[in-house]
Structure formats: C-alpha cells, structure tokens
Amino acid sequence: MVEELADCDRARTAESIAELNAYLTWADVPFPERQGESRFAVGELLWTSPPEEIDVTIVRLCGDLASLEPLTLSRDLPPIGENLYLAGHPDGGSLAISSGPLLSVGVTCLRHRCETRPGSGGSALFDSVFRLLGIHHQKHVTGPQEGVGEAVPMAAIREALRVSL
C-alpha cells in the first residue's frame, strides 16, 4: 500500500521508497549500460486502477530525477514469437531479467513465456530492442496455461488513464 505523502522529506519508511533502475545490463541483451541504482521517496499517489481491470498504480517520486532517462515506449507490438525481456525485482530482491517469446496479443493482455518468480508483478516487459511494451501482471501456475505470463500493454494503460482523467 502506498500512502500519499505531502512532505517528501517525511517519506523515509521502507513502504514509501521506490527502487528504480535508470539503466539495466545483462550480457546477452541489448540493454543500455547500467548507471547505478537510485532510490526515490514516493511523494503522492497520482492514479490507480481497480486491480481486476489493469492493476496499475502511478505515483509521483520526490527528488532530483533529471539524471534519469525515460524509457522508450514501443509504438508497435512485435510479431508473435519475438523474444521479449522481463526486468524487475521479484519480492523486492535483486534485479532479475528473463527472456521468452511473445505468445499472443490482446487489447488488455500480452501473453509471454518469460520466466517469473513470486512478486514479479509490476515488472517491465520490453521488446527485443529495449522498448517498453507493458507491465507484467500475473503468471498462470496451473491448468492449460501453466507457465504463461500476462502483461498489461502500455496502450491499455494509456487508454485507462485517458478515460478516467
């Protein structure tokens, strides 16, 4: 749970710190070179969707963000079968990057086969040239879709924001 904090100087608890990576590295992927990790306090909750819809929250961070380069959004979805990359901090641990093919595309769901661990929800899903495609939401752990991950496409997030604002 993220609480709104009017004073950025008060935002020092573990629950109010967002860990961000401005750059990622991994020997086998074309990610820009990592420039270190930074920690920023959460200043305020800007928007959140119902979890049963797209399950995304947007917050304003406190601090000097000028040194961070924004991620490039993918304008087009890659073809089915293209290798994707998932980058995040499962369960708040170390940076984990996995790869796997894009399986299917829907208006509100990108199905992929990138390896995930518990706590991977919220991880960024990238195309093969490190453009942001979506935000990982869940992985099926049983049944006919076992091992299939689902991400919310950035287009669905933009549309949900447009409709609600």
For the stretch 11-59, pLDDT in tens is: 333 333 343 333 333 444 445 555 556 677 888 889 998 877 788 888 8
Query: Mean pLDDT: which of 35-39, 67-71, 116-120, 139-143 is highest?
Result: 116-120
The string of pLDDT tens digits covering residues 137-155 is 989 888 888 889 999 999 9
Q: Which pLDDT value is given to residue 35?
A: 52
Looking at the structure, tell me whether residues 39 and 105 fall in a common domain. no
Range of the domain at 48: 8-61
> Domain count of the chain?
2
Looking at the structure, tell me whether residues 96 and 41 fall in a common domain. no
Whether residue 77 is contained in a domain is answered as: no
- Residue 124 CB partners (closer than 8 Å, separation 6+): 71, 86, 87, 88, 132, 135, 136
